[in-house]
Each structure stands twice: as C-alpha cells, then as structure tokens.
Amino acid sequence: MRKSGGVVVVCRCEDVTADDIREAIELGIDDFELLRRYLKIGFGPCQGRSCVAIAARIFARATGRKIDEVLSNYRVRPPIVPVSAKYFTRGART
C-alpha cells in the first residue's frame, strides 16, 4: 500500500523523482542540460514529452531562474520518436 511520503515521479520512462532532482541540485548541478544527462530525464521512449516541462519547472523554482533561461540550451536531436532498429538495418537505400 502506497502511503503518504511516497514518491513524486517526474520522468516516468526513466523513473526519476522530484527528490532526485533536488538532490542533484544540492550536489551542485546548476545547468538543466547537465541535470538531464545526470538523471536521464527525457532519455526514455517518450523522449521528454511528459517530463521535460515539469522537470524544468522544478529546476527553475529551485534555482530561482526563469524557465526560458533554464531551457535555453535544450536541444532536440533525431530520432525524435522511438524507432525500431530494423528500419536502419534492413532495406538499405538503393
């Protein structure tokens, strides 16, 4: 039975909690991209669609920064959706 004092999940794909983020900030992580690399926020199959905004908001609040400042280095790289490896191993370009 999950009682009070349970976890607050931020990134469901990688199981990152709000406490994980606060601990990382206490450790001295002062950059959102560094935080993402440290905790793998948004590195799972949803690629950040559910969690990046919420993590950025927690990070902005905790560090006293504005959210657009927090996200200023946020980059999106392909593949922007999860893709099965078979698409790249079969059917080579002719």
Partner 1 sequence: MIGKCSSCFMKVNGVPNAKTCREPVREGLVVERQRGWVPPAAGVEELGSVEFREVETDLLVVGGGPAGLSAALKASECGLDVVVVDEHFKIGGQLLKQTHKFFGSVELFGGMRGFQIAEEYARRIGSSERIRVIPRSAVYGVFRGGLVGVVGENSHYVIKPRAVVGSTGASERYLDFVNNDLPGVIGAGGVQTIMNEYGVKPGDSALVVGSGNVGLIVAYQLLQAGVAVRAVVEILPEIGGWFVHAAKVRRYGVPILTQHTIKAVYGNGKVEEAEVVAVDENFNPIPGSEKKFRVDLVLLAVGLEPDTRLFSQCGAVMKWSPDLGGLVPLRTPDLETSVRNLYVAGDASGIEEATTAIMEGWVAALSAVSKLADKSRASRAEEELEKINKFLWEEYRASPVLARARRGKQSVTVSREEMEKIRAEHPPHVSFG
Beta pairing, strands 16-17 & 9-11: antiparallel
Question: What three-state secondary structure class fits 19?
Answer: helix
- For the record, the structure tokens of 5 come out as 């004092």
Pick from 54, 62, 63, 65: which binds partner 1 (CB under 8 A)? Answer: 54
Binders of partner 1 in range 6-35 (CB under 8 A): 6-10, 12-13, 15, 18
Strand partners, 11: 16
Strand partners, 17: 9
Q: 22: number of CA atoms within 13 Å, CB side? A: 8
Determine the size of the site formed for partner 1 (CB under 8 A): 48
Pick from 23, 34, 45, 73: which binds partner 1 (CB under 8 A)? Answer: 45
Q: How far is the CB of 41 from partner 1 (least distance, A)?
A: 13
Which residues of this protein are in contact with partner 1, per CB under 8 A?
1-10, 12-13, 15, 18, 44-51, 53-54, 58, 67-68, 71, 74-84, 86-94
